[in-house]
Amino acid sequence: MQLFEGKKGLVLGIANERSIAWAITEKLHEQGAKMGFTHLPDTGDRPKNERKVAKLVEPIGAEFLVPCDVCDDEQIAAVMERAASAFGQIDFLLHSVAFAPPEDLTGPTWNVSRAGFLQAMEISAYSLLAVAGAARRRDLLSPTSSILTLSYFGGEEVIPGYNLMGLCKAALECGVRYLASELGPGGTRVNAISAGPVRTISAMGVGDFSQMLNLYSGVAPLRRNITPEEVGNSGMFLLSDLAGGITAEVVHVDCGFSKMGAPPDDFIASLKAGE
């Protein structure tokens, strides 16, 4: 029997085939899940975002694909109505939404604009509260449902180049804990995955990504970087009944990098050899 046989869910935030949300979606599909999806609203006459996501989700039998601007409560409510119409209730919700204006993301945090800070926080952190709240008010969450969002270690410690997004992820992770406490009595679990660096479109805009990959592979206990399949499996697990006792957690899928208090001797030796 497949882990998600008979289970229905909503996935927000797939951008393309490199998205972590897509890696998780592939695993959910393999386990029999039925899913509805959202895409960034398109402007003008060319449905670029819709086509990009449709190319991925239509072959796996998407129940629906609808636009959603997470800054618009009416659009969020419309998504929940569409999910209720298709499924009645959902068993899982995957939230993979983040954005910061490039000019604010690449500069120092002391120079972040007020407008950029507010926009980044609204999209990257508040949107989790917005979609969870909309689902709760619509009575969309089943008694054994699970919500999962995506974070990064830069929300816990300083990662040069992550800057403003680190502040957003810190707020997001705090939101996970409060939502888990408030939705838990109704049976809903809320967790986050803090993944190591993966070559996504958003990751490529953060600092020197190649240098980050080299650092992780040299310092992490497993001496390598994670794969999209690994984070996909972990996300699928956390959304499944196998993780029924896990909530309010930020699960690190980073080959152990986040637990290293100092770089290992062989990494230091490799740096000295390169001098």
- Report the catalytic residues: 152, 162
User: Are the beta carbons of 188 and 227 closer than 8 angstroms?
Assistant: no
In angstroms, the CA 202 to CA 173 distance is 19
Tell me phi and psi for residue 65, to 5 degrees.
Answer: -140, 115
SS3 163: helix
CA dihedral 6, 7, 12, 16 (to 10 degrees): -50
For residue 35, the one-letter residue type is M
Buried b (16+ CB within 10 A) or exposed e, 244-269: eeebbbbbbbbbebbeeeeeeeebee
In angstroms, the CA 232 to CA 237 distance is 9
Say which residues have a Cβ less than 8 Å from residue 137's Cβ, sequence separation at least 6: none
Residue whose tokens read 């950029």: 116
In angstroms, the CA 224 to CA 256 distance is 10
In angstroms, the CA 80 to CA 166 distance is 29
Say which residues have a Cβ less than 8 Å from residue 23's Cβ, sequence separation at least 6: 198, 228, 229, 231, 232, 235
| Residue 190, number of CB atoms within 10 A of its CB | 26
